[in-house]
Amino acid sequence: MPPPPPSTAGAGPGPIAVPRLEVVEIHHIRFHEEVDLARVAALVERLGADRALRHPPIVARLPGTERLLLDGANRIEALIRMGIRHALVQTETLDDPALRLSRWNHVIRRRDAKALVSAPPPGIRPLADGAADPTGRPPLCTLLLPDGREIRFLGPEGLLPRAAALREIATRHTHPRARLDRIAHRDLEQVRLSHPEFGGVLVYSDVSKDQVLRVAAASGRLPSGVTRFLVPHRVLGFNLPLAFLQMDLPLREKRRRLAGLVAERFDSGRVRYYAEPVFVFDD
């Protein structure tokens, strides 16, 4: 899709690179993480009511027609479950230094924290606060307890076995009746204010872009809500009607029409760029 001229609306001096939006075949998208079934169910309900895709998922171009899904696994899974074959995505370049990879931490309940320490999944060993690590490898994750103690969890060697071990840990606190609360910090006092019943915070070890790519290439998956891609210019509020994605038209024609929609929104002054961090209260 040829991008429209750069816009500086709301951005201060200098042109702003316009994000690349495109329509792709969903079966060409490679997942690197599991989905959160509770969020998927809520998204299917919301999409069915709104009849529009509000925020495009983020992907990176792979060789050929394939795309690596960076952010939006639950949105793509919801579209799949609704029988939609095409998706609107924002395409980034994986090796772009401005595209950074961070991680989320998970707040878990008391019963889940206690069960994880007392009966960890097979092959995963909890290491008490202050105990020496005989493996020399980074822990799979660290559990911060409300009293300030830290329990490290040691796992197997190798990227895919470690990804599988992380999924085993995640299944202990992401069952259907437990809400997955993701936070980007490890401040226990702040967690107490917003999660008075919390039993611990799971802090995951860092993952690299290359590791994410290798996991996806091997058809493996990390747990839901662990990787956090920080996109330099994220598109929000595009609100593409689902009827557009469901039209029985060739992909090339949908891409042509999308280019027209994007150009029309720029021409009508409906596109704004905000350089400052933003809180979204109705995502």
Tokens describing residue 39: 């969020």
Angle between helices 209-217 and 159-171 (to 10 degrees): 90
pLDDT of 9 reads 42
pTM of the full predicted structure? Answer: 0.89
pLDDT of 278 reads 81
Q: Compute mean pLDDT per 10 residues along the chain, 283 residues long, and list them.
A: 45 66 97 93 95 97 95 98 97 96 93 93 91 86 94 95 94 68 90 89 94 96 95 94 96 97 93 85 77
- Among residues 38, 34, 41, which one has the least CA distance to residue 224? 34
Distance CA 20, CA 234 (A): 10
